[in-house]
Structure formats: C-alpha cells, structure tokens
Amino acid sequence: MFNLLNADVDYVVVVGGDGTVLNVLQLLGDNNLPILAVKSGRRAFLCEVPPDEFREFFSRFVRGEFTIKEYMRLESIVDDFRLPYVLNEYVLTTSGMFRSKVAHFRVFKVVGGSSRLIYDILSDGIIIATSVGSTAYNLSVGGPLVDPGLEALIVTPLAPLSLCIRPIVLPSYVDVVVEVGSESYGADVIADGNYVGKVEPGGFIRVRKARKSARFVRFSDVGFDYKVFQGPIYGF
C-alpha cells in the first residue's frame, strides 16, 4: 500500500466525496501536501472541481493557474497518546453498551497555565469542531456556523440535560480539555468520522490547534468556503 506519510510527491489528487478527503488528510498526517479534490460522492462540500470539468481544471493546474489555501486543523491527546488530526471535528460520545446513556463531562478552556470551567454537564457527548467543520455534524445538532476564514474552536454539547447549555466559540490559541467524570460511563473518540480511541472514566482529552494545517488547491476566490451561506439559511 502506498505510504502517504513519506510520499515523494508535490500534490495529491483526491477523487471522491468529503469522507474520502478527510480519510486522505488523516493518512497524510504531518505531511500536509496540497490536495486537489475532485467531486465524486454524495457529499462533496470540500471538493471544488466538478468531475465533468476535470480536464479544464487540470490544464489550469498544470499551467500553475491556482492558489494554495490553508485551513486550520485540530490535534488531540488522550493519556499522552496523540490522535490523528481532524479538519472537521472530534466527537466524544458514550460508547458500547452505554450508547443510549448520558455521561458526565467537564469542559475547560485552558490558556497558558490557567484553566476555566466552561461546562459541567450530563449529555450524550461533546463536539469540538473547526470553522470548516462548523458546517458538518456541529451544524446538524444546532451548533453555530462560523466562516471558514476564521480560526476558532467550536464546542457543542450533544443533547445536554439542561435548557441553559449552548455552544461556545473559542479563539484558536485556546486548548479545550474535556474530562469524563470518574463515576460516569466512558466515551468513544471519533475523529472526522473514524473511531480513534476512548476516554475512560476519570480520563481526559486535550484538543488544540494543530501544528500543520490542511492545504487545498484552489482555482477561485469562491470555493467551498461560501457554499454553505447560499440558499435559505440566511434568506438569500
């Protein structure tokens, strides 16, 4: 199998939908090669090139008529174990036989050596998303839309047992630490749709801006950034 981590190439062409793009980004790891994404899937929000116009766009690519745009990703650590980067989100959710149960989460905003408690809640889980990921799972559960040009962490509780709990948008220099209560059920960690680990009762996960961004080949100023703002969402 071709190893993308050490690939001696300059660009990666991905043909598929959003899931394919996200999987390739995880396979790349620290090797943040620019991605040229061609639409071929049910959901292709991250892909700019239409399949029937591939020849035209590829000719422009060969001529150098494109730019590289970077998007913030997230990285996380569970018990000193580094998880894969994500472009969209990390999801913590109750696991296994406890899938239908709520868990106890304590969420902290950490800056430097100081921390501040944001949530102390019972819920089905927690989503920690990027601005690009604000249009994915975060949006479907009522989280806020954030322009992909902004670097931010969006924290959205899943079905909290409270009427007062609302999502929060934090700056990119903040670390988010989620602790699972010692008396609670454990939580699975899903990274851009892929199971990557578990936070046991009494354990925690730390999420922050990744050291390496995701890089996309772009042919226009209006790419996947603004598609979500079209249509009835804002009454346009």
Confidence of residue 231 (pLDDT cuts 50, 70, 90): very low
Closest residue by Cα to residue 135 from 24, 224, 9, 26: 224
Per-residue pLDDT tens for 53-109? 999 999 999 999 999 999 999 999 998 899 999 999 999 998 765 566 789 999 999
- Tell me, what's the pLDDT at 9? 86
With vertex at residue 13, the alpha carbon angle to CA 44 and CA 152, rounded to the nearest 5 degrees, is 55
DSSP state of 49: B
Among candidate residues 8, 10, 18, 79, the one labeled active-site is: 18
Query: In this structure, are strands 114-123 and 103-111 parallel, antiparallel, or unpaired?
Result: antiparallel
Is 18 catalytic? The answer is yes
7/28 Cα distance (integer angstroms): 9
138/235 Cα distance (integer angstroms): 21
Which uninterrupted H or E stretch holds 14?
A: strand 12-16
Query: 94-103 contacts: CB < 8 A, separation 24 or more?
Result: 94/124, 94/125, 94/185, 94/186, 94/187, 94/188, 95/185, 95/186, 95/187, 95/188, 95/198, 96/188, 98/185, 98/186, 101/185, 102/159, 102/161, 103/180, 103/181, 103/184, 103/185, 103/186, 103/187
Report whether 223 contacts 48 (CB < 8 A).
yes
- Tell me, what's the pLDDT at 222? 56
Confidence of residue 229 (pLDDT cuts 50, 70, 90): very low
Per-residue pLDDT tens for 125-170? 999 999 999 999 999 999 999 998 899 999 999 999 988 899 999 9
More confident residue, 228 or 163: 163
| Domains of the chain by start residue, with CATH | 4-72+213-229 (3.40.50.10330), 74-209 (2.60.200.30)
Whether pLDDT at 228 is above 80: no
Residues in the chain: 236
128/74 Cα distance (integer angstroms): 9
75/142 Cα distance (integer angstroms): 23
Per-residue pLDDT tens for 23-63? 999 999 999 999 999 998 777 788 889 889 999 999 999 99
Residues 70/74/75/79 CA torsion (nearest 10 deg):
180
Place of tokens 């929060």: 168
Which uninterrupted H or E stretch holds 55?
A: helix 54-62
Spell out the residues 6+ positions from residue 117 whose beta carbon is closer than 8 angstroms to its own. 106, 107, 108
- Tell me, what's the pLDDT at 45? 83
223: its two tokens: 């790419």
